[in-house]
Amino acid sequence: MGVSMPELQTLTPEIVIHIAQIANIPMKGLVATIELLDEGGTVPFIARYRKEATGNLDEVQIREIEEKLSYFRELADRKATILASIQEQGKLTNDLKSRIGTTLDKSDLEDLYLPYKPKRRTKATIAREKGLDPLALYLWEQIPAAQSLREFAATFGDIAEALEGARHIVAEMVSESADLRKGLRLMMFDEGIVVSRKVEDAKDEQEKFKMYYDYREPVKKIPSHRMLAIRRGESESILYFLIELDAQGPVAYLKSKILKQPGDWTPQLELAIEDAYKRLLNSSIQAEVRMELKQRSDAEAIKVFRENLENLLLSPPAGQLAVLALDPGIRTGCKVAVVDETGKFLEHSVIYPHQPKNDLAGSARILKTLIAKHHVRAVAIGNGTASRETDAFVRQFFKDEGLDGIFSVTVNESGASIYSASDIARQEFPDLDLTVRGAISIARRLQDPLAELVKIDPKSIGVGQYQHDVDQRQLQQSLETTIESCVNRVGVDLNTASWALLRYVAGITERTAQKIVEFRNEKGKFRSRVQITAVSGIGPKTFEQAAGFLRIRGGENPLDMTAVHPESYPVVERIAASLGNSVEDLIKNPDLLRKVNREGLAAGVYTLNDIFEELRKPGRDPRDKFIAPSFKDDVRELSDLKPGMTLEGQVTNVTKFGAFVDVGVHQDGLVHVSELSNKYVRDASEVVKVGQIVKVQVLSADAKTKRIALSMKALQAPPPMPQHRPEQLPRPTMDDKVAALANRWNKR
């Protein structure tokens, strides 16, 4: 291999090689990444600042390595427990020890352990207690003997009872064979059918699960969202489902693997095999495949949630400008909150522009006063009840007052009420009412969605798919890593960030983040990155991990506002010195970089590329430019929608089956995946993302069911007709399918 293989915390060379193969990562970069992770390196830091060591592996690859490490270390711990258990029973052979040691799959490992696992008293146990093991082995080994089967069985007492007991032992042997179980699992995945039916007398008043009352779909084809819908129907006692597989196939497979040669044992073995499948294997393998389907569906749903959350967190910020926020209400009025350009809360009020008070003049007067007093440049309106009426009022107010230098925008307020009642909100604004806290959150979401949304449990933001049905630990872990990735990609202003945002910076814990804010409140603004080491709990390792992702504007060193890591400051200083300029000159005039001779700068190629890229656009925000959606003034309620109407809207959620779009009527419409494009779309995320502004055409709007069907492809030009039919590819053989299934199973 050409790469030394150090002790990597319980990982054998075979496992490291296996990870390299399934992740398609060069061995040198893999070993370096494992060592960096074991030394306490964070994924964002390794991906951004250790490219020379890893060979420029990106964050996705490094996270995959991290996940594989966790899987195989858990596997190693389980192996140790199993080996100890079998050893204690005195049944650990060299062959078994070798098979357990070399297995790379948790399911295969449990199959190997199954015969030695403590179990309740079974029919086979009772037969063994009667001393029928020799008769069962006679059947199993299929070797002719001097005695006939009946003569041998007669030595154990009643012939029929002896043969029945021996068959029970054989059936258990068949059901506990690791190789046979694996073959049946693959067969059930390849040929099984998911069948769901309605539970008799179950009530489904809204008919949410109607399409699944009598539904069939192959196991290998059923998508995540349909599997999760069926499971939810089952959990609500409306549906039940099973995996259907014609018994002839599995039984024939078992016979082909077990029957060696014909003899008087053959009829007994065939009965034992049929019994093994019907009584022991079918339900057991079904349970395993059901669990695998759940895990597969969970993983897909979590992936969708993660992608949506990432797009939402990286939504374009309106930037540093004073914002007046309106949390719309009718009877209780619209809560008003003003924040300055840094997000600092300034003032709050309440206006009543709607029925029953309909105080348009008083509401306009309050807005005018607050806008002038605090130099407001934008109005953010929550998209809840009465948002369109409030938006219309604000637009008319702008027109009446001639306010051309200010804009209004509707902001998605999902989760704002959760934030309002949270510990974070109480710490920030202990003396304010929940509704005022919600308005402040709406204002800050416009300024910087990322900085505000990190304060809310991501499951409350409304961009998930069956989020309460999937593995909650796995979901939480995945969403946390997504937030961490987004925060570090954008960078964090050390002097304005809340502790809720700082806690996601690489290397910084929640407690450390709180100490940073306490230090800042006591000592004033940080003047340099190095100054953070004065905060209790921040040592050299934490500083190394975090420093490059922290930004200080107007500090002592201009590089502190960039993504250049402090460890590379000497490189930048050498670059400046080679040109006869200062670092400040480089920051102000990036064109100077064209004259630099890179040789002799004592830095790797990847590091130098990143430094030059950062100096060309120092402190640049990687997010897109902010664009507000424009809703039609005459479309405010679902009843205003008419088929054929063209609207502009904002994507609020993306699922495997389509995208939900807010068109300003308090109810999101669905653009089904078949209506996204004139071209074939396998996955909606290929075409749209959360936060994107899109044009749609209304297909239908049902006020009773509150369902809106939209289309994007109706507004697109049809694709050109193909000039000729593509050449037909050969269809895969059954051997190809089985090989692909086994390969996919081994890579889980």
Report how far residue 206's alpha carbon sits from residue 556's, in angstroms, rounded to the nearest whole number.
Answer: 63
Which CATH code fits 13-114?
A: 1.10.10.650
Confidence (pLDDT) at 62: 96
- Partner residues linked to 352 by β-bridges: none
Report how far residue 374's alpha carbon sits from residue 341's, in angstroms, rounded to the nearest whole number.
Answer: 10
Q: Which residue has the tokens 């996919």?
A: 744
Superfamily for domain range 323-447: YqgF/RNase H-like domain (3.30.420.140)
322 close to 374: Cβ distance less than 8 angstroms: yes
Report residue 192 as tokens: 């099984």
Report how far residue 41's alpha carbon sits from residue 44's, in angstroms, rounded to the nearest whole number.
Answer: 9
Report how far residue 115's alpha carbon sits from residue 89's, in angstroms, rounded to the nearest whole number.
Answer: 12
Q: Of 229, 307, 308, 301, which Cα lies nearest the Cα of 475?
A: 301
Report how far residue 266's alpha carbon sits from residue 259's, in angstroms, rounded to the nearest whole number.
Answer: 7
Query: What residue spans in the chain does CATH classification 1.10.3500.10 cover?
Result: 130-309
The H or E element that residue 140 is part of is helix 133-141
Q: Of 366, 371, 467, which Cα lies nearest the Cα of 414?
A: 467
Q: Tell me, which fold does domain 130-309 have in CATH?
A: Tex N-terminal region-like (1.10.3500)
265 close to 142: Cβ distance less than 8 angstroms: yes
Backbone phi and psi for residue 14, each to the nearest 5 degrees, phi listed first:
-60, -40
Residue 711's alpha-carbon distances to 392, 659, 662, 671, 674, in angstroms, are 26, 10, 13, 5, 9
30 close to 19: Cβ distance less than 8 angstroms: yes
Report residue 188 as tokens: 């059930």
The H or E element that residue 133 is part of is helix 133-141
- In one letter, which amino acid is 442? I
* pTM score: 0.84
- In one letter, which amino acid is 39? E
**pLDDT under 50: residue ranges of the chain:** 1-7, 726-727, 729, 734-735, 737-738, 745, 748
3-state secondary structure of 613: helix
Task: Check residue 467 and report its DSSP letter.
Answer: T
Confidence (pLDDT) at 6: 45
Nearest-5° angle of CA 569, CA 572, CA 576? 140
Beta strands in 163-317 (DSSP E): 193-198, 214-218, 239-244
Q: Of 340, 336, 364, which Cα lies nearest the Cα of 348?
A: 336
Confidence (pLDDT) at 628: 73
Query: Taken in order 539, 540, 541, 542, is the CA torsion positive or negative?
Result: positive
3-state secondary structure of 6: coil
Confidence (pLDDT) at 720: 66
145 close to 179: Cβ distance less than 8 angstroms: no
Residue 234's alpha-carbon distances to 196, 198, 231, 282, 518, in angstroms, are 9, 9, 5, 20, 50
Query: What residue spans in the chain does CATH classification 3.30.420.140 cover?
Result: 323-447
Half-sphere exposure of 275 (CA within 13 A, CB side): 18
Confidence (pLDDT) at 730: 53
Report how far residue 462's alpha carbon sits from residue 654's, in angstroms, rounded to the nearest whole number.
Answer: 10
Report residue 217 as tokens: 């779909």
Residue 228 CB coordination number (10 Å): 22
CATH of 638-715, one of 1.10.150.130, 2.40.50.140, 3.20.20.70, 3.40.50.10470: 2.40.50.140
Query: What residue spans in the chain does CATH classification 2.40.50.140 cover?
Result: 638-715
Confidence (pLDDT) at 417: 86
Query: What residue spans in the chain does CATH classification 1.10.10.650 cover?
Result: 13-114
